[in-house]
Chain A
Amino acid sequence: MALHCGKTCRQYLLHLAHDSVDFRLPELKALLALRGRQCDPSEAFREKSPFWRLCGLLEEDVRSVMSRTVCGKSAFELWGHGRTAAELKSSLLEYPIEKMTPFLQEESTYKINVYTFNKTLLFKDRIEKIDALGFLPFKGKVSLKDPDHIFCLLEDYGLDPNDIPEEPFHIYFGRWVADGQRELIRSHSVKKRHFIGNTSMDAGLSFIMANHAKVKAHDLVYDPFVGTGSLLVACSHFGAYVCGTDIDYNTIHGVGKASRKNQKWRGPDENIRANLRQYGTESFYVDVMVSDASKPVWRKGALFDAIITDPPYGIRESTRRTGSHKEIVSPPEDFSGESHVPVSMAYHLSDIFADLLNFAAHHLVMGGRLVYWLPIYRPEYCEEMVPLHPCLSVISNCEQTLSSHTSRRLITMEKIKEPEKSDVLAHLADSRFSPYQGHNSFREKYFSGITKKNGKGSERTATTESDGF
């Protein structure tokens, strides 16, 4: 399957939301891979454009992608396109009439929408554009409410809101096939979720992560830093069975201080299971445990179809593990009085990721994916810092900027071979191991950037909602 190939093959137009732009192509590739389809962008492909032409696909492939994507708004069977209205017209006249007529029947109803990206049109201009399509052999009746067929004229006025052209750069016309799943962003919003924590993953991103991981029905998915289970909610929505572990007893048991503004303590129905129940996916709940991710308790062998997680960055949730150490970091105060973590020891960020990759190499099925967030101090970032493992191959690396000096990257890896004894310590010899170690002082760098801006001497500054930490 190609993106933006020549004119002769049957094409579909994907209209994407202009949101999480870097995450869109990996999402599409993963969803096509679930259908056994490859995806090769041609040279003409403009990734930042909200309109992508796909060829070499069947309608079922497109419907399948749309049933999962949160980056894609709608998909159309493309009947014509061009850089001017004249080009569009000749393109439409070239489209085989026998492919059009089934949808233009006399007994059917239809409507035509006009969508303009990066420009607002007056109502009369829209009507004019629809009228200009009068040369098409529509025989049915127009019905704005519940028509049998919906068509769309889509115009691309570029990506610069400060420089909007008079005429569009590109125009498309097609028959609507399906909408994407962006509604999930609203329906599964963390604002309405029963059980949340300080770092619960935003709904849109959690579904994108599930898609990057190629989660599918009947899979077994694991989150080793499960927190309040936001990622499990998304995976269970796609039919996967889910389990998770976390070192924090209170979060797993759903007790302790609440994260909501007007709430002091957590209520009785606040736990991961209750979150799944809220969305009707409780039957996919397998198990959660209180466990230290640096000391896994799982039996040897490939168990999980996917591992999806958001490890702590040390900003709003501390990075810790069990064990004793000379410099003991005392656990935070909590309600129940017993922290259930015997001693908290610093868990360096570079170790978290080395352990995570090693765990994934041993416990993922072959071809299974690991998807996780990697916090980055931007002034020092280079691609070499992305942790590697001989048994895992990097599929994608998407940045979400959080501030001028910090971002996080969603890394997707796929298991390509079974680990051998020599692989366990391979990362220590890896020259790339050292670059990320600089991030062990990520917390200091994160706050140093903020205090520099404020010109204050204090170490702590309140983090804002937009940080995403």
Chain B
Amino acid sequence: MIQNSGRSGCLNTEGEVHATEVKVNEVEFNPQFVSRMIPKLEWSALIQAAEGVGHRQDLPDTLVSNYENDEDFLHKVHRVLLEVEVIEGSLQCPESGREFPISKGVPNMLLNEDES
């Protein structure tokens, strides 16, 4: 069973994200939403995904403490969470190697009949 949590912009996936087309949108920054999302993310997976699409910038390897008050840091997470979007690419499951295509910004997670 595939285990990932998807956000096309940046994925909490334990697998790899490949992108052939990435878009960066401008989305209104909401520090409270970002603060609430951070504990729900798997930080290492976020970093890996951000790197995979070439938008890691200077996100740290481990989560900083007291991030709720660090607006700069929240901005960086906001960018990668809501602004960076994979338009064309794929998600790869770490266990099976199965690739799920992303097309027009939408991942297609459906398995074929012989796979389930």
Contacts and interface: CB of A to CB of B under 8 A. Distances in A.
A324 interface: yes
Given A218-B36, A342-B111, A297 B4 contact: yes
A243 B12 CA distance: 14
B49 to A, nearest CB: 12
A343 B111 CA distance: 10
A286 B82 contact: yes
B72 interface: no
Contacts of B104: 253
B7 A303 contact: no
Contact of A299 (B14, B27, B116): B14
A289 B12 CA distance: 14
A235 B7 CA distance: 18
B2 interface: yes
A211 B110 CA distance: 32
Contact of B113 (A241, A300, A322): A322
A334 interface: no
Contacts of B13: 299
Contacts of A253: 103-104, 106
A220 interface: yes
Contacts of B4: 297-299
A249 B3 contact: no
A288 interface: yes
A301 B109 contact: no
Chain B interface mostly: loop
Given A287-B8, A289-B6, A324-B113, A249 B82 contact: no
Interface residues of B, number: 34
A280 B42 CA distance: 30
Chain A interface mostly: loop
B71 to A, nearest CB: 16
Contacts of A298: 3-6
Contacts of A300: 3
Interface string B73-96: 000000000100000000000000
A249 B109 CA distance: 10
Interface in B1-23: 1-9, 12-14
Interface in A242-294: 243, 245, 247, 249, 252-253, 283, 286-292
Contacts of B3: 297-300
A289 B5 contact: no
B33 A218 contact: yes
Nearest to B109: A291
A217 B13 CA distance: 26
Contact of B28 (A283, A288, A290, A341): A283
Q: Closest 6 CB pairs between A and B?
A: A324-B113, A299-B5, A291-B109, A283-B28, A343-B113, A342-B112
12 contacts: A247-B110, A253-B103, A289-B8, A292-B109, A292-B110, A297-B6, A298-B6, A322-B116, A340-B108, A342-B110, A342-B111, A342-B112
Interface of B: 1-9, 12-14, 27-28, 30, 32-33, 36-37, 40, 42, 82, 103-104, 106-114, 116
Interface of A: 217-218, 220, 241, 243, 245, 247, 249, 252-253, 283, 286-292, 295, 297-303, 322-324, 340-343
